[in-house]
A and B are shown apart, each in its own frame.
Chain A
Amino acid sequence: GENVEQHPSTLSVQEGDSAVIKCTYSDSASNYFPWYKQELGKRPQLIIDIRSNVGEKKDQRIAVTLNKTAKHFSLHITETQPEDSAVYFCAASGGNTPLVFGKGTRLSVIA
């Protein structure tokens, strides 16, 4: 089955700097890669997703890149703000299978 590895587990950046979180996956059949943000005590919420026919997708300060050959995808947050502090999860799925999540990255933005 699918296995998703996520790095780093914790990340601290200064406000205004960029943050990058990386994930690798094992199943070449996977074709959907979402990113979720979970604030303390809250539910995870989708912030961006990408499909295998696209290499990059942007939404304001957030972007995701996908390299299907290398089986990895990354989340990029530019101009970080204190409200970006949260746990971020990557996930992957393909065909008719449920999402498989990475273990999460705790991002701290220091003002």
Chain B
Amino acid sequence: DGGITQSPKYLFRKEGQNVTLSCEQNLNHDAMYWYRQDPGQGLRLIYYSQIVNDFQKGDIAEGYSVSREKKESFPLTVTSAQKNPTAFYLCASSTVTGIGNEQFFGPGTRLTVL
């Protein structure tokens, strides 16, 4: 658990502003993921990356952007185009995507749009 961190824990944003959520891991994992969690909706995949400098859209990528310049880091930007950004955001990592690969989650960032 301690190998993947997110910051900040709580984030407040005014409408129309972009905001970037940080995710860092020291587990030497190749794959990293961003999920959005809303009450009763489970975990919905926003973006994922299997290797540095490459990433793929998940189910709800609209209004979000990511980068993967380093293996350890996978920041998520919530843009002003995201219509309802207030949610709990979870970052995760795994050795590789697919079979038998446990995903380890960060502690999450709770974003509130004022």
Instruction: Collect the chain B residues with CB atoms within 8 Å of residue A51's CB.
Output: 99-100
A9 CB to closest chain B CB (Å) equals: 7
Chain B interface mostly helix, strand, loop or mixed?
loop
A15 CB to closest chain B CB (Å) equals: 26
User: In the bound complex, what is the Cα–Cα distance between A43 and B106 (angstroms)?
Assistant: 6
User: In the bound complex, what is the Cα–Cα distance between A6 and B97 (angstroms)?
Assistant: 22
Interface residues of B in 57-114 (CB under 8 A from A): 58, 90, 97-103, 105-108
Given contacts A43-B90, A43-B106, A98-B33, contact A93 B43 (CB under 8 A): no
| B105 touches which of A43, A93, A103 (Cβ 8 Å) | A43
- Is B40 in contact with A89, judged by CB distance below 8 angstroms? no
User: In the bound complex, what is the Cα–Cα distance between A39 and B64 (angstroms)?
Assistant: 27
Instruction: Collect the chain B residues with CB atoms within 8 Å of residue A42's CB.
Output: 107
- Is B107 in contact with A32, judged by CB distance below 8 angstroms? no
- Is B103 in contact with A104, judged by CB distance below 8 angstroms? no
Instruction: Collect the chain A residues with CB atoms within 8 Å of residue B1's CB.
Output: 43, 45
Given contacts A43-B1, A44-B90, contact A101 B102 (CB under 8 A): no
The residue in chain B whose Cβ has the minimal distance to the Cβ of A52 is B99
B11 CB to closest chain A CB (Å) equals: 16
User: In the bound complex, what is the Cα–Cα distance between A97 and B103 (angstroms)?
Assistant: 13
User: Could you name 18 residue pairs across A and B whose Cβ atoms are closer than 8 Å?
Assistant: A6-B42, A9-B40, A31-B99, A32-B99, A34-B102, A44-B43, A45-B105, A93-B98, A94-B98, A94-B99, A96-B97, A97-B98, A98-B31, A98-B48, A101-B35, A101-B42, A101-B44, A104-B40
- Considering the complex of A and B, which 5 residue pairs feature the smallest CB-CB distances, nearest first? A103-B42, A43-B105, A101-B43, A96-B98, A101-B42
- Which A residues have a C-beta under 8 Å from some C-beta of B? 6, 9, 31-32, 34, 42-46, 49, 51, 89, 93-104
- Which B residues have a C-beta under 8 Å from some C-beta of A? 1, 31, 33, 35, 40-45, 48, 50, 58, 90, 97-103, 105-108
